[in-house]
Structure 1
Amino acid sequence: MSSYAKSIQNGSRQLRDAGVEDPVGDARILMMWASGQTRSDLMLNENNEVSKTVLRRFSRAIKRRHNHEPIAYITGEKAFWSLNFIVNQHVLIPRPETEAIVEQAVRVLQGRQNPRILDIGTGSGAILLSILAETKIAHGIGLDISSSALNVARANAKTHGLTERSDFIQSNYLDVFNDVEHAVFGQKFDVVVANPPYIDDDAMGKLPRNVAGYEPHLAL
């Protein structure tokens, strides 16, 4: 059998051979996930023997990362703002720079009574739910054309106890403004947020493999 330290070393070597940018860091994260340990736990236990179950889980994760699959899809979660969000191949992985949208929205909503938020292209719901978590009396609606993405958003709302203050509706962006029968047509919102697709077809082929090969092109 192998120790945690040795297993991480072997895993990082495989990732380095595949050209992964941070092989040691990624191997540590995947071992933390596979073993259910924190970073400090892993340091304390680095010379302990890894169980067969954990080693199999870690090895499968390393193989997926070796193919440049994003860590967030392997572990099934991504930290954003102050929360952890469920993510999978149906939603874009939340980026740290997108937190600026949350920060600005929270600032705008300060002092407003029962504010309402519309999130166009909600994906995992990370933006909307982060705003709701910070603005305790707010209610929000998230729109997305993908029913699979909306399932992820609803799961995240349930995880964070925000189901009662959020609704998720399948919709094309333009229908909000053009379809008089749309669920939100004519409604008033205190804040409208969006992180729409912005990568054109020419640029798509130039994206890193871990993005172009795994994240939903519909959301990019």
Structure 2
Amino acid sequence: MPAAIAAATARFAFSPTARLDAELLMAHALGIDRNALLLDMDRGVPSTFAALVDRRAAHEPVAYITGTRGFWTIDLAVGPGALVPRPDSEALLVAAAAHFGSRSPATILDLGTGPGTLLLAALDEWPRARGVGVDRSPDALAYAAVNASTLGMADRTVFVRGDWAAALDARFDLVLANPPYIGTGEALPDEVRVHEPAAALFAGADGLADYRILAQQLPRLIARGGCAAVEIGHTQAADVAALFAGQGLASTVSRDLGGRDRCLLVTPARQG
């Protein structure tokens, strides 16, 4: 088995996590988790491993191949049509938890929920909360519904197909959003550009198109004492904060584990 993993790692040289990719695929082929694999590397190599390696060598995301991705404290089913959850997005939950402290938000809105990533992680963090997830993609919402059911949260969630918050008339203690923020001319790795949904990635020439929409909607969505946690590209903090300030919103920047600007924690500048 070590030789097979080493050979796969060499084929995945394009990936910054080549060895991890190979181990995850081997664990998936064996039907075990990666920890169990690392504790016993003397197993035989399953016949299905080669096909998995071929798929990854074609730059297909590991999460699409295995059908799952861990995020925060939960595991999510993912696949084509749904944006793959990224660890960087956990910065939104860290910022929200700092805002609420010992309190718990009672109502949560996740705009652009994808496979339910941020909403379901937040509901796991705050077990008494209930939430609404909105997305334009029926494929993504199908994954979100499956994930809510698998995690035992179906009775605490409502998923709505829509264009951001256009159809909503309510306020929420916590609003989460990971909008598209890639400029249409920006280069992306093939595993993202070719495989993941373009509608969840690209936002006009400057990458700010969806922030302009959110800036207009957030003031009517945030409940008294509440906040919004909005993901940003690591160079966009000043531009997005300016858009929000134009709508009477104050923003505080939070960073991801790599030390890059990743989240704006947003509150009304004057809460009356």
Gaps of 5+ in 2: 202-272
Q: 2:191 matched to 1:210?
A: yes
**1:14: which partner in 2?**
11
**1:188: which partner in 2?**
171
Q: CA RMSD in A?
A: 2.0
Give the superposition deviation at 1:27.
1.6
Residues 190, 48 of structure 1: alpha-carbon distance in 2 compared, 3 angstrom cutoff: closer
Q: Secondary structure at the match of 1:190?
A: strand
Q: Deviations over 1:16-74 (max 9, x none)?
A: 4xx34443332222111110234454345434433xxx22x211110000011111111
Within the candidate set 195, 200, 205, 1:219 is matched to 200
**Farther off after superposition, 23-32 or 109-118:** 109-118
Percent identical residues: 37
Letter aligned with residue 9 of structure 2: S
Give the superposition deviation at 1:157.
0.5
Aligned ranges 1:69-84 → 2 under 5 Å: 69-84=60-75
Gaps of 5+ in 1: none
Aligned ranges 1:1-220 → 2 under 5 Å: 4-16=1-13, 19-43=14-38, 45-50=40-45, 54-55=46-47, 57-110=48-101, 115-173=106-164, 176-177=165-166, 182=167, 184-185=168-169, 187-203=170-186, 206-220=187-201
Residues 104, 15 of structure 1: alpha-carbon distance in 2 compared, 3 angstrom cutoff: closer
For 2:105 and 2:174, the matched residues in 1 are separated by 12
Residues 5, 89 of structure 1: alpha-carbon distance in 2 compared, 3 angstrom cutoff: same
Letter aligned with residue 214 of structure 1: H
Q: Deviations over 1:170-200 (max 9, x none)?
A: 0012xx34xxxx3x22x12111111101112
Letter aligned with residue 23 of structure 2: R
The count of residues paired between Structure 1 and Structure 2 equals: 201
Say whether the 8 Å CA contact 1:117–1:192 is kept in structure 2. yes
Residues 106, 163 of structure 1: alpha-carbon distance in 2 compared, 3 angstrom cutoff: farther
Letter aligned with residue 68 of structure 1: H
TM-score between both structures, scaled by the size of structure 2: 0.68
Give the superposition deviation at 1:108.
3.6
Say whether the 8 Å CA contact 1:144–1:150 is kept in structure 2. yes
For 1:40 and 1:150, the matched residues in 2 are separated by 30
Which has a greater percent of strand? 2
Letter aligned with residue 10 of structure 1: A
For 2:105 and 2:189, the matched residues in 1 are separated by 42
Q: Deviations over 1:138-170 (max 9, x none)?
A: 110000011111011111101111111110000
For 1:201 and 1:143, the matched residues in 2 are separated by 23
Q: Secondary structure at the match of 1:143?
A: strand
Say whether the 8 Å CA contact 2:105–2:173 is kept in structure 1. no
For 1:95 and 1:43, the matched residues in 2 are separated by 23
Letter aligned with residue 182 of structure 2: I
Residues 142, 8 of structure 1: alpha-carbon distance in 2 compared, 3 angstrom cutoff: same
Letter aligned with residue 195 of structure 2: Y
